[in-house]
A and B are shown apart, each in its own frame.
Chain A
């Protein structure tokens, strides 16, 4: 065993892409399969620079379809494999991620959202929410963490490697181009020193022993002959997902207790919301902020509790209502009025949120 990538813990000043590479190393990832796309590239670059020092591997494939499927193949063989992509690459990886969904395979995919539709910008957006949560011809049996900065990227990449293998659902770390490219301080650490455990990986195919004699036979299917068979299989997935959800779901609240207006935001936009709460509170406005950390499973109970006791909800996102769809679906039956501020593909600042929220008083 080579030395540990991170001894103890240390404070660093780095980009999100670098933080993801370190987290994957610290989580014991064996191999990254990848194909270049901005703003994800440096995850690959840092990984290829660091991985050989710790006996880890990298394979650049011919495209993202292949990167997704080779990652699934690595997982089947028992490797802690992962990949990362953005935008059009995320589209191409949906097929393999759907296969993982159907076969209950753990995968870790880090997404650095860029602008869309199509090539659009390489800078930033929150326009890959629907695709990451519900992409492909699937039912969204996935775990999606929406991160808000470098510390989150490190913490939740570690966590993704744990929950993916623990619950066997495709797991996504949903970042964005801002987080990918910006530099800010964070603490990176050896998971052991923080008591963070990571579920070990195991081969799902070609296990040792004689199938049916020494061990139950492995039977992973993504093809069915009868519609009744499929219904039963999908129901089974849905049940397993529902059982897993309460163990995984995460959200954060900021001054929601007595808030008249609650700002709903996820990912990096949550930082603008947190800043706005601070400013508005200092000026006497009773404003709070609710941030889902998992977009799948969505924190239905927590958001309902907050929504029901506030006078108005203010939703802000860098997309044309992809996050709002998750929210309104979750809040069906709650009558609190909701105002939205939608900026597809553009960043949102504290000042803007402050100005918009003031209009509601």
Chain B
């Protein structure tokens, strides 16, 4: 069996789903993995559910999309409805604990369903801007597909120029990554 993961991340436009997927897949690629990332996009300019599909593997990747993911991350109620079809018996389904009224919609067939307080941690402990970095940490924590240090390197590659202007941003991002990682443990 090939080492790697199939990851679906879904949320509202503006939650940073696509940038998480972009940074994560590029981090895996930099580490020598085969990586493929494709966004889902509709005809709407704004207001749609944004889904990102990431595949990381040590073998060449077949189709760009997949039916069943190893990990699904849903960040809004609509995203929960939209992504539960990617769940199979080995899937870890992660959703934000602050999403209300989706209990009935949660997948029944997942290996594990995990509610994480990412929105709250972002708002109360860190900064809303790093919400998606927390999610990236959670994805890495759940899949262990790349090392957390690799993810830090990828963040620096992406935001290095901002980190240089304001070094506190580096700490904030690293912290967010680590907190996300912790949220899915245990």
Spell out A's residues near B (CB within 8 Å): 13, 38-39, 119, 121-123, 178-179, 181-185, 268-269, 271-272, 274-276, 347-352
Contact = CB atoms under 8 A, between A and B. Distances in A.
Contacts, number: 70
Interface string B21-40: 01001100100001111111
Contact of A181 (B41, B62, B63, B66): B41
20 contacts: A13-B29, A39-B41, A121-B42, A121-B43, A122-B43, A178-B38, A178-B65, A181-B38, A181-B39, A181-B41, A183-B35, A183-B36, A183-B37, A183-B38, A185-B34, A347-B63, A349-B62, A349-B65, A350-B63, A352-B67
Contacts of B68: 351
Given A122-B43, A181-B41, A183-B25, A274 B62 contact: yes
Contacts of B14: none
B102 interface: no
A187 to B, nearest CB: 13
Contacts of A349: 62-63, 65-67
Interface of B: 22, 25-26, 29, 34-43, 61-68
B43 A185 contact: no
Query: Most chain-A CB neighbours within 10 Å: which of B26, B61, B68?
Result: B61
Given A13-B35, A185-B34, A351 B40 contact: no
B63 A122 contact: no
A178 B36 CA distance: 11
Contacts of B34: 184-185
Contacts of A179: 64
Ranked 7 nearest A-B pairs via Cβ: A275-B62, A182-B38, A350-B62, A178-B64, A184-B36, A272-B63, A349-B63
Given A13-B29, A122-B41, A183 B22 contact: yes
Contacts of B66: 349, 351
A14 to B, nearest CB: 10
A268 B36 CA distance: 13
B65 A272 contact: no
A274 B66 CA distance: 15
